[in-house]
A and B are shown apart, each in its own frame.
Chain A
Amino acid sequence: MAAAAAVALFAYSGSANAEPVDEKLVIDGEIEMITKTAAPEGHPLDEVLSGWLFRTKETRALEADSFQNPGLLGVEQGEAIWNTVEGSEGKSCASCHGDAAESMKDVGANYPKWDASANRPINIELQINKCREERMGAEAYKFDKGGQKPLTAYIKHQSLGTPVKLDLSQGGLQEWWEKGKELYYTRTGQLNLSCASCHEANSGKYIRADHLSQGQANGFPTYRLKQGKLISIHNRFRGCIRDTRAEYPAAFSDELMALEVYVTWRGTGLSVETPAVRQ
């Protein structure tokens, strides 16, 4: 009996000791970030936590210093694209929107949004494509190609520190939220795992040598040390689904857009961290 109790105690301290850490993220000692907050109404968890809290000390330090954060290289690239004229109309993003620090401030914290003309939700990537096609007379970026990731990162970076908040009352967004929720809890692939199996039921525990986070979307596009570059949210969705050994849906497909709506909502109240640094 005593032995069994000791084993149980050991197992408990083993899984709960290290992560998530109880620390504050302050970027450059100036911008205080919300990495922990009460969950929105209807959320399965009491508290939502940023993935930053689940990373090692070294990785956390990279994000806390905007100079060391290699994702900022992508943001700088995005700034150059913002000011570059492309397409038949002779326009750049700046021609219409001016200074992104003003016009795009806090904008990224409220996407995905409802797009009435397409009758479906739209994320920053698709909004950029819409502008390119309709206003600039330029070709839409293919998924993760051209300037898509750096430009998305640049736009979202203008919301650094702003809490994520989606307005689900727009158009049919609530229905897409429901659809995303269903997908989140649907087991898939040979390994028969759902998003919730890892990120809800087992967050904080090890998956091989890595800690499972709550799988929040507030830091995307995120700089992953594993790939050494910026990674988009749909790329990460596909990576996760692939790891369950399932066939994964196309980027920007209805499935992944619904999932983005739902997963982004799950992180309501967390600061936008783009570009976050993860391993």
Chain B
Amino acid sequence: MASKPRVKVPKTASAGEVITIKTLISHNMESGQRKDKEGNLIPRKIINKFTAEFNGQPVFSADMHGAVSANPYMEFTAKVQESGTFKFAWVDDDGSVYEADANIEVS
């Protein structure tokens, strides 16, 4: 149960510049440690992997585990040499993949 992810990538940059990328996704990140009212374990359901690609090349990825809070926020930097597209993907425990992309103009 995740809504459309939010990503923030600068629209323009100069070649070789280090840019900051921010991403945020709405997700419960159910840890698998909690119990419901009847005392049954609530099954784990988290986003276990996050990846970022630039023009098909991987730039950043992260594996996530049970202790990550709800609505995970990721911020990282990347050096850009050419114009192109960032593609982001969040992989859920149930196999669904949430995707977003953003373009950057490099001069």
Binding site for B on A (CB under 8 A): 67-68, 70, 72-73, 76-77, 225, 228-229
**CB neighbours of A229 from chain B (8 A):** 70
Asked if A68 and B24 make an inter-chain contact with CB atoms under 8 angstroms apart, the answer reads yes
**Interface membership of chain B positions 42-81, coded 1 if the CB is closer than 8 angstroms to chain A and 0 otherwise:** 0000000000000000000000000001110101000000
Asked if A68 and B73 make an inter-chain contact with CB atoms under 8 angstroms apart, the answer reads yes
Does B14 sit at the interface, judged by CB under 8 A?
Answer: no
Asked if A73 and B73 make an inter-chain contact with CB atoms under 8 angstroms apart, the answer reads no
**CB neighbours of B75 from chain A (8 A):** 68
* Complexed CA–CA distance, A67 and B20 (Å): 12
Asked if B3 and A73 make an inter-chain contact with CB atoms under 8 angstroms apart, the answer reads yes
**CB neighbours of B4 from chain A (8 A):** 76
**CB neighbours of A228 from chain B (8 A):** 28, 69-71
Known: A73-B71, A228-B71. A67 touches B8 (CB 8 A): yes
* Complexed CA–CA distance, A225 and B71 (Å): 10
**Interface membership of chain B positions 1-44, coded 1 if the CB is closer than 8 angstroms to chain A and 0 otherwise:** 00110101000000000000010101010000000000000000
* Residue in A67, A70, A76 whose CB lies within 8 Å of B71: A70
Extra A-B contacts (9), CB below 8 Å, given A67-B22, A76-B6, A229-B70: A68-B22, A68-B24, A73-B24, A73-B26, A73-B71, A76-B4, A77-B3, A228-B28, A228-B71
Number of interface residues of B (CB under 8 A): 13
* Complexed CA–CA distance, A35 and B27 (Å): 31
**CB neighbours of B24 from chain A (8 A):** 67-68, 70, 73
**CB neighbours of A225 from chain B (8 A):** 69
Closest to B2 in A: A73
**CB neighbours of B3 from chain A (8 A):** 73, 76-77
User: Nearest Cβ distance between residue B22 and chain A, in whole angstroms?
Assistant: 5
User: Nearest Cβ distance between residue A216 and chain B, in whole angstroms?
Assistant: 24
Closest to B73 in A: A68
Known: A73-B24, A73-B26. A67 touches B6 (CB 8 A): yes
25 A-B contact pairs sorted by A residue (CB < 8 Å): A67-B6, A67-B8, A67-B22, A67-B24, A70-B24, A70-B26, A70-B70, A70-B71, A70-B73, A72-B6, A73-B3, A73-B6, A73-B24, A73-B26, A73-B71, A76-B3, A76-B4, A76-B6, A77-B3, A225-B69, A228-B28, A228-B69, A228-B70, A228-B71, A229-B70
User: Nearest Cβ distance between residue B48 and chain A, in whole angstroms?
Assistant: 18
* Complexed CA–CA distance, A67 and B21 (Å): 11
Closest 10 interchain pairs by CB?
A228-B70, A70-B71, A73-B26, A67-B8, A67-B22, A68-B73, A73-B71, A73-B3, A77-B3, A228-B71
